[in-house]
A = this chain, B = another copy of it.
Amino acid sequence: MYNTLLLPDLRLMLIENDTRAMSELGEVLFPADTAELLAELAPEEAVTVLMQIRLERRVEIFVFLPLQFQIELVEKMDRKDLSRLLEEMAADDRVDLLERLDPGHVERLLPLIAQAERADIRKLLSYPDGSAGSIMTTEYASLPKNITVREAFERLRVQAPDRETIYYIYIIDNDRRLIGFVSMRRLILSKPDQELASIMQQDVISVRVDDDDEYVASLVHRYDFIAIPVVDAENRLVGIITHDDAADVMREKAEEDQHRLAAVEPLEDSYLTTPVLVLAQKRGVWLFFLLGAAVLTAWVLQYFEGGDDHSWIIMFLPLVLASGGNAGSQSAALVISALARDQGKLKSGGAFHVLFRELSLSSLLGGSVALISFLCAWLLTGNPWPAVIVSSTVLLVVVLAAMTGAALPIIIQSLDADPAYMSTPLIAAMVDVIGVIIYFNVARLVLGHYPV
């Protein structure tokens, strides 16, 4: 938002080494906006500016920088500045960064960080990517059940400065087991000498530290939570996941799906910051696989091709294949998004319901597309028989492609894999092979009876 306007000023500050102006800039702008501005600078320059800003604010700005840029900055910072920065960062942001650094580098950094934080870091680093543990933060507000609302407020005042949120308060017993939940709203509405035990909600929705992060995000979204507690196998509270981190997971998943659907392996960074060679690999793996499918089509095609000398057959080959591919892609995309919405659970009989819908829908659509193809083919060839062949093939291929596009994601999902692997190009490739076979067989059948 600000970058186009303020970037020249910031560059001037750097040239004039106006440290006071840099420090003020950091205070005046919102952290997210300062971060956007800094991301436009070279890493050395961004470090220079950051170091002029007071530590607390510096950290707020730092965590809004793209992860890739954070890593570059870390390499330019001196170790002491870096350890102060890491100590001040929220537990989850810190782990996101450390996970991406070279492990040797991390080991050299850890001794510079306070003992308590260090244990926390090692713990959080141990959770596998894609688990609730890997996105949670350990900075939650918790209280015992046997204190009054008045005491709760006093304790929260102490906890408030370094907790991710104090609006959801988790009630734990002496073994840190999660036994209840109180919202700040509830606290405010309660009388000062009520005990927490009497106002807490006992039935708390929580997730396990090894639960899938997308499942966690869907729960947060489902219940409109500000945060969800994370417990270990003994129901001990180990962290929370806040609504903004859940939204990040949802957003990343949506982007991942979008890439998969276009036959690109999901990227870890944004498209613009991913190195070209990494992109080449993420795309190449699918391109080669799809090329294999295309070679199969070519191989099938050679068997049909020698025989007849009807040039119109070739003319309409791309049309037949494209119609099928398009219809199949639509079905796949719709079914995949329906599966994502329901977190993969189709209700009982859901699969049949979907296939029945696709059958009626694709007959309708295939019929109409076939009708128009009939007219176009007649017009372009001046002969009704090619039109009959093209249009009946289109109808068959559209129906078959739609059924395939709908069924495959459901099957893939039931095997516990990501249905988004059923990408548009993959569906199109399968339809190409089937389409060629149908097309030439229909042609043979019709021409056998009515030679043109």
Contacts and interface: CB of A to CB of B under 8 A. Distances in A.
Interface of A: 3-4, 30, 32, 40, 153, 156-157, 160-161, 166-167, 184-185, 188-189, 203, 205, 221-224, 226, 243-244, 246-248, 250-251, 254-255, 257-259, 261-264, 267, 270-272, 276, 279-280, 283-284, 286-288, 290-291, 293-295, 297-299, 301-302, 305-306, 311-312, 314-319, 321-323, 325-327, 329-330, 332-338, 340-341, 347-348, 350, 353-354, 357, 360-361, 364-365, 368-369, 372-373, 376-377, 380, 424-425, 428-429, 432, 436
Copy count, this protein chain: 2
A188 B205 contact: no
B223 A330 contact: no
A350 B361 CA distance: 42
A365 B315 contact: no
Given A326-B290, A425-B329, A271 B334 contact: yes
Contact of A255 (B297, B319, B337): B337
A322 B428 contact: yes
Given A30-B223, A184-B167, A327 B261 contact: no
The secondary-structure label for the interface of chain A is helix
Given A295-B319, A323-B291, A365-B284, A221 B264 contact: no
B334 A259 contact: yes
27 contacts: A30-B203, A30-B205, A156-B188, A157-B189, A184-B184, A246-B247, A254-B254, A259-B333, A261-B262, A262-B333, A263-B329, A264-B333, A276-B360, A280-B361, A283-B327, A287-B327, A287-B369, A288-B372, A290-B322, A290-B326, A291-B373, A294-B319, A295-B319, A302-B312, A305-B314, A317-B317, A318-B318
Contacts of A160: 185, 188-189
Given A299-B380, A372-B288, A262 B329 contact: yes
Contacts of A243: 226, 243-244, 247
